[in-house]
Amino acid sequence: MFFFDPIHFNPMYFLFVAPAFLLGLWAQFRIRTAYAQAQQMPAPLSGAAAARHILDSAGLTDVQIEEVPGQLTDHYDPREKVLRLSQEVYESRTLAAVGIAGHEAGHAIQHAQEYAPLLVRNAAVPMAGFGSQGSFILLILGVVLHMNMMLIWLGIGLFATVVVFQVVNLPVEFDASARAKAQLVGLGIISKEELVYVSKVLNAAALTYVAATLQAILTLLYYVMRFTGGDRRD
């Protein structure tokens, strides 16, 4: 069944988010090239061993490391205190692997030190997840019900929680990468010369978060412009 989307099926929307879309494409290209290059550079430890060394050095011997399926599915679970690494990152002895593992270990250190932006981000996750879906439903209903502005403003307000989450997430990701770089060099896992390759991977990954944040902000501006400006005739 074909579902017509009266919210985003509008050329103005694509013009609004075009900068974020282009930045996202550039970030994906940067990730592929930087990751492929760093994969060719050997490291003395596997991703799992590097993460274990960083965690133990920070006193986080209780944080477990698990291997999970998929590609770039690496993440830190603060609820279970488990650092999960994709098979390639877990097993490989490359600069790409230790860089990504170090970044996730950085999140574990943030959690242990109660890094404020991380606490705010984790608290915002449920609301942002609900806001992403709920805002779309409310906006659709608002449009269908003859521009019901109460529903539309509720939808815009819900989507604003997504923007808040994305904005708060930026310093969390940048800080985790900074911690990873410092720990990898400080513990002698990589040299300062090798840090260049790790930085390229982590900086490219950071661009994807910037693109997602920009898209969320531009989408929110589009909603406000469309439903409070001259485009309400649609």
pLDDT (tens digit per residue) in 147-183: 788 999 999 999 999 999 999 999 999 999 999 999 9
Q: Residue 229: pLDDT above 80?
A: no
Least confidently predicted of 38-52, 99-113, 150-164, 174-188: 150-164
Q: Residue 113: pLDDT above 50?
A: yes
State yes or no: is 91 an active-site residue: no
Q: Residue 232: pLDDT above 50?
A: no
Mean pLDDT to the nearest integer, 43-71 = 96
Q: How sure is the predictor about 83, in pLDDT bands with cuts at 50, 70 and 90?
A: very high
Q: Residue 211: pLDDT above 60?
A: yes
Average pLDDT, the chain: 90
What is the structure's pLDDT at 4?
A: 42
Q: How sure is the predictor about 233, in pLDDT bands with cuts at 50, 70 and 90?
A: very low
Tell me the whole-structure pTM to 2 decimals.
0.86
Catalytic residue among 67, 88, 91, 104: 104
The percent of residues in the chain predicted with pLDDT above 70, rounded, is 94
Tokens representing residue 85 in the block: 């690494």
